[in-house]
Amino acid sequence: DAGITQSPRHKVTETGTPVTLRCHQTENHRYMYWYRQDPGHGLRLIHYSYGVKDTDKGEVSDGYSVSRSKTEDFLLTLESATSSQTSVYFCAISDARTGYEQYFGPGTRLTVT
Amino acid sequence: AQSVTQLGSHVSVSEGALVLLRCNYSSSVPPYLFWYVQYPNQGLQLLLKYTTGATLVKGINGFEAEFKKSETSFHLTKPSAHMSDAAEYFCAVSLSNAGGTSYGKLTFGQGTILTVHP
């Protein structure tokens, strides 16, 4: 299995508080992605990174920000959590060396009350 | 822009029966196509992928899929279902210029939950 970890794995937070989710990889892959998974919607891309300090918005980026200060870590921040951000969040990595296949982390279940 | 449609949010089969999960895509350039499987409370695992070459692609656990450009389809099949195949399956598309501005981004379908009855 690809070396991808996510922390925390579960979190309950209150509306209006900031939350940061961490994705850590040990594969030295160039590309990293954050998705959210909601029933009936599949996975939707929030933000992605194509290198250190190089990030861009995905399909559902409103209310989220990201940072990547080193190759192995990609942080997702909910600036002021809302109930609509209750979801399961997945991090993924890919690289040209592996044909751009995406490898997924175990996910973080976030509940905003 | 690309999009993916999975026909049927739930599919139910008997153990030993054929599994057929349908996926249609749209893409402005030749696509890369993927099927992923997700077991409960786990991340996604790659089943198989099509990039170039042979249009019939074989994956893990006895699954295969055929890329049909004329039908813009990439349906997933397995000749004989097993109880352990019960999971949610996702079709995804990526632009083939993955090293360029697409950055390997995937667009996913809505998912199909496969139930296998004894």
List CB contacts (< 8 A) between A104 and chain B.
36, 43-45
pLDDT at A71: 96
| β-bridge pairing A103-104 and A87-94 | antiparallel
Distance from CA of B98 to the nearest CA of A (A): 7
pLDDT at B100: 57
* Sequence letter at residue A38: D
Answer whether B32 sits within 8 Å of A100, measured CB to CB. Answer: yes
Size of interface A-B (CB pairs under 8 A): 56
Distance from CA of A76 to the nearest CA of B (A): 17
For B70, residues 6+ apart whose C-beta sits below 8 A from its C-beta are none
Q: Which residues of chain A have pLDDT under 50?
A: none
pLDDT at A28: 94
The two tokens of residue B105 are 């981004």
Interface test with chain B among A7, A45, A102, A108, by most B beta carbons within 10 Å = A102
Establish if B113 touches chain A: CB-CB under 8 angstroms: no
Establish if A31 touches chain B: CB-CB under 8 angstroms: yes
Answer whether B43 sits within 8 Å of A42, measured CB to CB. Answer: no
pLDDT at B5: 95
C-alpha to C-alpha distances, B86 to A113, B9, B19, B37, B106, nearest whole angstrom: 32, 13, 11, 10, 24
Distance from CA of A75 to the nearest CA of B (A): 18
Answer whether A58 sits within 8 Å of B105, measured CB to CB. Answer: yes
pLDDT at B20: 98
For B80, residues 6+ apart whose C-beta sits below 8 A from its C-beta are B16, B17, B18, B62
Establish if B12 touches chain A: CB-CB under 8 angstroms: no
pLDDT at A2: 64
CA B108 to CA B115: how far, in whole Å? 20
List CB contacts (< 8 A) between A7 and chain B.
none
| β-bridge pairing A4-7 and A54-57 | unpaired
The tens digit of pLDDT for each residue in A22-47 reads 999 999 999 999 999 998 888 999 99
CA A45 to CA A57: how far, in whole Å? 8
The two tokens of residue B41 are 């409370």
pLDDT at B24: 96
The two tokens of residue A55 are 């990030």
- Selecting from B43, B94, B109 the residue whose C-beta is nearest the C-beta of A100 gives B94
List CB contacts (< 8 A) between B32 and chain A.
100
pLDDT tens digits for chain B (118 residues)? 778 999 999 999 999 999 999 999 988 777 889 999 999 888 999 999 998 888 999 999 999 999 999 999 999 999 999 999 999 999 999 876 555 566 788 899 999 999 999 9
Q: Are B98 and B85 within 8 A, CB to CB?
A: no
Q: Closest by alpha carbon to A91, among A76, A78, A69, A81?
A: A76
The dihedral built from the CA positions of residue B21, B12, B5 and B90, taken in this order, carries a sign that is: negative
Answer whether A42 sits within 8 Å of B111, measured CB to CB. Answer: yes
Q: Are A68 and A74 within 8 A, CB to CB?
A: yes
